[in-house]
Structure 1
Amino acid sequence: MRIIDLASSSPDVEELKRELGRVARRAGFDNFVYLNLHASSAEMMSNVATNWQQRYLLEDWSLSDPVLRAGRRCMRAFTWNLDEFQVAGRRRMEDQLLAARDHGLNCGLSVPVRIGFGHLAIFSFTAREHERLAGRHVDDLVAATAIAQLHCCLRGKAMRKPSRSVSSLTPRQALCLRWTAEGKTMQDIATMEEMTHATVAFHLNKARKVLDAGTLPQATAIATRFGLI
C-alpha cells in the first residue's frame, strides 16, 4: 500500500527513488530494483550501486536473469534466493550471479506485472541475508496493483518535463497534501504514515510555501488543480 501512495504523490523520479529506498529498509530489505522490459531493451530504476546497474544494462543480463524467468513463469509475487538457481555451464549467468552476490542481492521478494504488448515489468526488494524472507506473506492483488501503478507513474514522469512546482514539492509534502485532500487531519496522517504531528505540520507548511498559498486549503486546491497530488 505504501508504494501505491508514493506512486500517486511523488513529484519526480529521483525523489521517488529515495522514498522507495526508505520503504525497502522499513520493510526489512536492503535495496530495490524496478525493471521495465521491452522487446529489445530494459529500463531500470534502483538504489543498488551504479556500477552493477550499468553492467546489468550494458551486458543485457535481462536475457539470462533467472529472477525474470521465474517471474514470467508464475506471474505473481514470489520469493527467491540465488542458491536456487542452476548455473552450471552458463557463463553469462555465472557472471551475473557473482556480481549480484558482490552487491548483496542474495535473495528477494519480486512482483511481476504484464504491461501490454507482451512486455513485463518487475519490482524486487532484495536482501543480503536469507532470514529476512522468513514469514513473508504478500497479497498478490495488492502487490500487482502497486507495481502496475508505479509503472504508470514512471512512464508518465518520463514522458513529461516537470514544472518548477512539481520539482520543488517533495514526496512527503505531496503525500501529506494528498491525505489532506482526502479529508484526513494532521493527527490522522501522523498515525497512518508513522510520523509525529509536528513532522506532518512541518511538511504541510513547507508545501503551502512552495505553492505560494496563504492557507492549507488553498495549497490543497492548487496542488489538485495542477495534478501535483
Structure 2
Amino acid sequence: MNEQIQSLIDTVDVANDERTVKIALKNYAVSCGFERFAYLQIAASDIKTFNSYPSEWEGIYLRNRYSVIDPVVTQAKRRMAMFDWSAEGWAKHDESRELKRFRSEAMDFGIRSGITTAVRGSFQSTLMLTLASSRPRTDSSFARDAEGAVRAALCTYYRLKVLAQRPAHVLDFGLSPKELVCLRWAAKGKSMQDIADLTNVQHRTVQHYLDNVRGKLDAANLVQAVAIAKDHGLLGPE
C-alpha cells in the first residue's frame, strides 16, 4: 500500500469530526495530483455525499437528482472496481438533453476527469471514492492502488457513521490530523523515531507535533497526554 493512502487511512481512523476527515481526503487527493475528492454513498433513493466540490455544485447535483444520470455513478454500480473517467466522452453515446446539461455544468465547476473506486457497502449500498481534476485527462498512476482505495472508502464509510452517532458534547481540543496520528502511535508505545519512520516525516517534526499535543491537552508529559486523549475519546477505536 502506498504512503499516501496509508496516511489517509490512519488519519481518518483517528478523526474526531467531519472536518478532519475532509482535510485527510483533500490532502490525499492533492498528493495524488488531483484537486478535489468526492465520497458518495447510495442506497436505493437515499444519497449521502461528502466532498470538497463547490457547495453550489453540490446543491445543483442533489436538487436535480443527477446521481440517476451521472455516468460515473452508473459505471461504478456496474463495475464495482477502480476506473478512470473523463467528461469529454460523457455525451458521445448519449445525446439526451439531461446528460448534456449535466456534463456542461460539471465542467463549468471544474470537474473534467478523475478516478473512482466503487465498493459494496452494507445493505446493498454503493460506496464511491472519487478523485477529480479540472484537466481534460489526468495521470492517475499515483492513485493506482485499488486495494488501498477500497480500504480507504470503507474506512471513510465507517468513520463517518461513528461520527454521526457521537454525542454532541465531546470536547474539541483543536488537535490537527497529523497531531492525532502521532498521538495514536505514541499510545501504541511507539518511540518518536518509530513514529517518524511510520509517518515518513523527520524526528523533529514528530517532536513538534507531540509538543503541540501536550500544550493543547495541558498535559505535563506524553503519558498524561495519551491518558487525557483516551479519557475524552480522541484516539478513535482501538
**TM, length-normalised to structure 2:** 0.86
Alignment partners' CA distance in 1, 2:88 and 2:50: 25
Closer, same or farther: CA 92–41 of 1 in aligned 2, 3 Å: farther
Is 1:12–2:12 an aligned residue pair? no
Residue deviations 1:108-133, cap 9 Å, x none? 11111211222111110011225532
Residue deviations 1:76-97, cap 9 Å, x none? 1111112232363322222221
Kindly state the Cα deviation for residue 175 of structure 1 after the two structures are TM-superposed.
0.8
Closer, same or farther: CA 207–163 of 1 in aligned 2, 3 Å: farther
Is 1:27–2:32 an aligned residue pair? yes
Give the alignment of 1:75-90 within 5 angstroms.
75-86=80-91, 88-90=94-96
CA RMSD of aligned residues (A): 2.1
Alignment partners' CA distance in 2, 1:74 and 1:192: 34
Alignment partners' CA distance in 2, 1:137 and 1:40: 30
Residue deviations 1:130-158, cap 9 Å, x none? 55325456333322122101100011111
Alignment partners' CA distance in 1, 2:171 and 2:157: 22
Alignment partners' CA distance in 2, 1:121 and 1:134: 20
Instruction: Work out which of the residue numbers 73, 83, 90 in structure 2 matches 1:68.
Output: 73
Alignment partners' CA distance in 1, 2:45 and 2:154: 21
Kindly state the Cα deviation for residue 41 of structure 1 after the two structures are TM-superposed.
2.8
Instruction: Return 161-170 or 72-81, whichever deviates more.
Output: 161-170
Is 1:168–2:174 an aligned residue pair? yes
Alignment partners' CA distance in 1, 2:50 and 2:107: 19
> Is the Cα contact below 8 Å between 2:37 and 2:131 reproduced in 1?
yes
Instruction: Return 197-206 or 134-143, whichever deviates more.
Output: 134-143
Question: Which residue of structure 2 lines up, in the alignment, with residue 204 of structure 1?
Answer: 210
Question: Which residue of structure 2 lines up, in the alignment, with residue 57 of structure 1?
Answer: 62
Alignment partners' CA distance in 2, 1:36 and 1:134: 22
Question: Which residue of structure 2 lines up, in the alignment, with residue 125 of structure 1?
Answer: 131
Structure 1: gaps spanning 5 or more residues: none
Question: Which residue of structure 2 lines up, in the alignment, with residue 148 of structure 1?
Answer: 154
Alignment partners' CA distance in 1, 2:28 and 2:72: 21
Kindly state the Cα deviation for residue 16 of structure 1 after the two structures are TM-superposed.
1.9
User: How many residues in Structure 1 have an aligned counterpart in Structure 2?
Assistant: 229
Q: Secondary structure at the match of 1:144?
A: helix
Residue deviations 1:191-225, cap 9 Å, x none? 44343433322221222233332211222233234
Alignment partners' CA distance in 2, 1:224 and 1:123: 30
Instruction: Work out which of the residue numbers 205, 223, 229 in structure 2 matches 1:223.
Output: 229
Question: What one-letter code is carried by the residue in structure 1 that aligns with 2:157?
Answer: H
Question: Which residue of structure 1 lines up, in the alignment, with residue 3 of structure 2?
Answer: none
Structure 2: gaps spanning 5 or more residues: 1-5
